[in-house]
Structure 1
Amino acid sequence: MTSDRAFTCACCGGRHSEPPMNYTAEAPAVWDAAFAGAEDCLLSADQCVVLGQHYFVKGLIEIPVLGSEEMFSWGVWVSLSRENFSRAADLWDTPGRESEQPYFGWLTTDLPVYPSPTRNLKTHVHTRPVGERPLVELEPTDHPLAVEQRRGISLERVREIAAALLHPDGLGRQSG
């Protein structure tokens, strides 16, 4: 039995059972492996500090998949001011933290499936209940990623993203 989400990959021609519905960046684009172990640097699954001067949290850009109840998501890093990072860190394990006002931040993840850079897009980081990653809301601009977040994407677009990310050498052949 095959899934109705199965697709033939535009890059390799192979048949995939279904496209992944989320992708994640392991670190902000500015992270360098040389920072690991440095006293003024930290990289965890949720937070990052670079040289004691730059502060990041990991969140999700969620995009509705049209015609379904599903969400496609990007696990991304957002830079926050020192004050907002400290506040978010102080409340990290506090029940009710979701009542916090959103934090302004800058997207610090490169998503190569878009025709224009995604790094430095303006965001608002919405804290959610303990145990859930923050929701990253992009400023409503005409950037394709922001448009997709507002309007949603088709399952065919999810398949295009999967083909591009499963076969990065084929990125140049993908449409934006």
Structure 2
Amino acid sequence: MPDFYAIDQKKKTFEYKCVCCNEFQRGTPAYGYDMPIFYFDVPEDEREARIYLDADTCAIDNKLFFVKGILDIPIHGASEPLTWGVWVSQSVEEFHLYRETMGTDRIGQISFGWLAITMPGYNDLDERGNTVQLKCDVKGQAAGQRPVIQVQECDHPLYRDQYDGISWDRAVELVQLMPH
């Protein structure tokens, strides 16, 4: 376990030293990805010309479109879930609608997407050796909030963990797998 994580088993609370601010924090850490995995398929010297990327949206070659949302995994006995900021693909129409309505209430709006990141502890590979992409629902939230990402029913550990929750030990295992 990294030196900066102290875990209170009785209270089911994480205590850790934040790598950004160097201060001790209490609560379940949240992890986010700065870009979808497909960003890295574009050669570094071509990215500026071929990729649009901000904190919430990404377009690659005006052919692949992504939005960032929140995927929660409940932890049994803990008051906070393990939260991941993940990227999900979107159709061109859904992408433009999302960008046009950012900052407005999107409750009740649902779109389809494919999970577009790799998550330590969940990186299953298909027969070609590629990370399995999972079908997801992208559920709009109140103004100013990122959409909620829910994995659609399938036989994958991430789906089961998101819907059934995980043990404290599994939460600790996942936190330890995350880059710090």
Into which bin does the TM-score normalised by the smaller protein fall?
Answer: 0.7 to 0.9
- Structure 2 Cα separation of the partners of residues 112 and 76 of structure 1: 13
SS at structure 2 position matched to 1:148: helix
Q: Which residue of 2 aligns with 1:65?
A: 75
The unaligned stretches of length 5 or more in structure 2 are 1-6, 16-23, 126-130
Q: Does 1:156 align with 2:165?
A: no
Structure 1 pair 17–131 and aligned structure 2 pair: CA distance change class (3 A): closer
Residue identity opposite 2:55 in structure 1: A
The unaligned stretches of length 5 or more in structure 1 are 8-15, 168-176
User: Which whole-Å deviations, capped at 9, do the CAs of 1:2-48 have from their partners, x for residues lacking one?
Assistant: 844369xxxxxxxx98785321111000003444421x521111000
2:36 is matched with which residue: 5, 9, 28?
28
**Aligned pair count?**
155
Q: Which residue of 1 aligns with 2:103?
A: 93
Q: Is the deviation greater in 123-132 or in 17-26?
A: 17-26
User: Which whole-Å deviations, capped at 9, do the CAs of 1:147-173 have from their partners, x for residues lacking one?
Assistant: 000001122111101222247xxxxxx
- Is contact 2:75-2:166 (8 Å) kept? yes
Aligned-residue CA RMSD (Å): 2.4
Q: Does 1:141 align with 2:141?
A: no
- Is contact 2:28-2:80 (8 Å) kept? no
Residue identity opposite 1:156 in structure 2: D
- Is contact 2:71-2:150 (8 Å) kept? yes
The list of structure 1 runs, each at least 4 consecutive aligned residues, that deviate by more than 4 angstroms after superposition, is 16-20
1:51 is matched with which residue: 47, 61, 72?
61
TM-score (norm 2): 0.76
The sequence identity of aligned pairs, in percent, is: 32
Q: Which residue of 2 aligns with 1:13?
A: none
TM-score (norm 1): 0.78
Residue identity opposite 1:133 in structure 2: R
